[in-house]
Structure 1
Amino acid sequence: MPLTLPPLNALRAFEAAARTGSYVAAAEELGVSAAAISQQIRKLEDYLGKQMFMRMNNRVVLTDAGHAIREGTAAALQMISDSTEQLVSDRSRSRLVISTIESVAEKWLISRLASYSHAHPDFRFELRVEPDPADFSRHNIDLRLGYDPVQYPEHGIVLLEQDVVLPLCSPAYLARNPAAMGMAAVPEDDLLHTSWGSNFGSHPTWHGWFVKAGLKPPSDSKGFQIGRSSLVLDLAREGLGVALGQRMMALDDLASGRLVALSEISIALGYPYCLAYPRAKSRKRHLLALANWLSAGPVLG
């Protein structure tokens, strides 16, 4: 029995427009003009006898009919894409394009990607480091580790636990300053401050931590100012002073004893980290398995 299929180019245009919410973005992704996307959508609508989109300002929104066909269409096209990719590449290995913010790449993600790869010998990935928000369609991203899931409202989301900061130092620093076991005895000049940068609207500070601990807040003008949260941990591990460090990024150092916590009083970051992915790619091999594996592992201990 012959298959009943709408025009495939029209389906591709529809899927891209539904995923990006824009004819212009769909056109950029497929390498055609926005007018060509509009023409393909009209062809699909004529074939089905249904309106697929409603225009709202500069975006397009799916109608009920559009929603009804989107899920199956996206999944079917992804399956065709995956099968074609495997045949063309002539290999069974699956490569995911993974995008991550810089702060957690080296300190948290790398060791966990290595562990997953050892457990799944056929798994291959391309790792990119870039700031939030990442452009999934332009850069063909499969999985994104980012901060604050609100930045990816139209994507599938797997939440990681909300990270916290707490006082961390090296055993060598503590041996030189045994009184530092009581944070009130830590010299202000030994505090490592994180300069969080413009991407963080709210961020924890030593001032806030001391207030929460019921201690006199230190002067922000004293101590060290470091422009990256991962470097703060590096300097603390070298014995330079006491960091208000992220537990998520310090997990491996804490487990190995390279860093120790001087207090369990902590301050939560403003938002959780998350793993985001295009819903149309949810069937891609290893994508959800990796995302769920990363989220199920010991994030904050």
Structure 2
Amino acid sequence: MRLPPLNPLKAFEATVRLGGFTAAAAELGVSPPAVSMQVRKAEDYFGKKLFLRTHNELHLTDAGRQLYPSISAALTEISTISDQLLENDARSSIVLSTIQSLSVQWVAPALARFRKHFPDTGVELKIEADPVDLARSQVDVRLTYENHLYPQMSATPLFSDVTYPMCSEGFLSDHLKDGDLTSLSDSHFIHTDWGESYASYPTWAAWFRETGNPRNPDPRKGLRVGGSAVAATLAANGGGIALVPKQLFQELLDQQQLVVPSTVGLPLPHSFFAITQHTPETALVNSTAKSRAVSGLLDALQSSQL
């Protein structure tokens, strides 16, 4: 197959379409003399003049008029296919949105496993509060607590959890030598806001009721924080005692950054979910690279071992 060089053809097509060397040069990012030189190379290749140059004006010759429609159509088709390929490549990356409490202890290990099986798939991780407009934000997977804010979406259950009182070893030895939480002052309690839709449940008042004690520590005298990740971090650093989801922060327990001074637990009323715009089954049927990657990410999230 004998083909002419591409750059001279691009210069010729742009010159005709835009009406001159100057405009063509601006589009191609070169100088007008460089465009003129490329056009001359095209003329040399075909052995025919493509333009008549008179008084700073350009007019197509018969050869130029014969060549232009085919060259224009071919370059347009190449540009269209190139855009499609680049778009498909961009879409092969995944946007993962998550609430803060899941970002480190749950998401990080899952992403490490996912990348072993999909090393060429990029992942953009966003940490943001609910609700998230998945379509507008181009989010592929949203990790959240409960799923009532996403009624039209596909919800994949990840796990349920139980909260326990947790604190640091230092706090335990300084304030809880006998393990009796009733001896603590209200200032020692860390209160967690579980998001706008869930207020502060589970609360310390609910935990004490579970033990048969009517005590209700005053949140105004302790620490009140937004999210279990902040509460767990404060507790691990000796800032007080918090109700912490055990499965979610098992790694901090294994590292002895947190200890559990009581065996009484309070289950979270809802589960954690992965929200997607399409069901995993639909994604598999579509069999695109991105759909397979999303399904692989859901598998990695569901198999997280904390």
TM-score normalised per structure 2: 0.62
Q: Which runs of 5+ in 1 are unaligned?
A: 1-82
**1:286: Cα distance to partner?**
1.8
Q: Alignment partner of 2:177: what SS?
A: helix
Counterpart of 2:270?
271
Question: Residues 199 and 132 (structure 1 numbering): CA distance in 2 closer, same or farther, change over 3 Å?
Answer: same
Segments of 4+ moved more than 6 angstroms? 83-86, 89-93
TM-score normalised per structure 1: 0.63
Higher radius of gyration, 1 or 2: 2
**1:232: Cα distance to partner?**
1.1
Q: Deviations over 1:158-201 (max 9, x none)?
A: 10222222100111212323525233333332111123452325
Q: Which runs of 5+ in 2 are unaligned?
A: 1-80, 285-290
Contact 1:93–1:123 (8 Å) recurs in 2: no
Counterpart of 2:96?
98
Question: Residues 222 and 287 (structure 1 numbering): CA distance in 2 closer, same or farther, change over 3 Å?
Answer: same
State the superposition RMSD in angstroms.
2.9
Q: Aligned match of 1:194 in 186, 189, 192?
A: 192
Contact 1:93–1:124 (8 Å) recurs in 2: no
Question: Residues 157 and 196 (structure 1 numbering): CA distance in 2 closer, same or farther, change over 3 Å?
Answer: closer
Matches within 5 A, 1:106-117: 106-117=104-115
Contact 1:99–1:145 (8 Å) recurs in 2: yes
2:253 maps to 1:254? yes
Contact 2:93–2:123 (8 Å) recurs in 1: yes
**1:122: Cα distance to partner?**
2.4
Matches within 5 A, 1:186-265: 186-200=184-198, 203-220=201-218, 221-265=220-264
Q: Aligned match of 1:290 in 290, 297, 305?
A: 297
Counterpart of 1:61?
none
Contact 2:101–2:229 (8 Å) recurs in 1: yes
Kindly provide the amino acid, as one letter, of the partner of residue 224 in structure 2.
Answer: Q
**1:208: Cα distance to partner?**
0.4
Matches within 5 A, 1:138-217: 138-200=136-198, 203-217=201-215
Contact 1:164–1:247 (8 Å) recurs in 2: yes
Aligned mates of 2:199, 2:163 — CA distance in 1:
16
Question: Residues 222 and 91 (structure 1 numbering): CA distance in 2 closer, same or farther, change over 3 Å?
Answer: closer
Q: Alignment partner of 1:289: what SS?
A: helix
Identity over aligned pairs, percent: 29
**1:266: Cα distance to partner?**
1.6
Aligned mates of 1:90, 1:279 — CA distance in 2:
18
Q: Alignment partner of 1:249: what SS?
A: coil
**1:202: Cα distance to partner?**
6.7
Q: Alignment partner of 2:155: what SS?
A: strand
Contact 1:179–1:186 (8 Å) recurs in 2: no
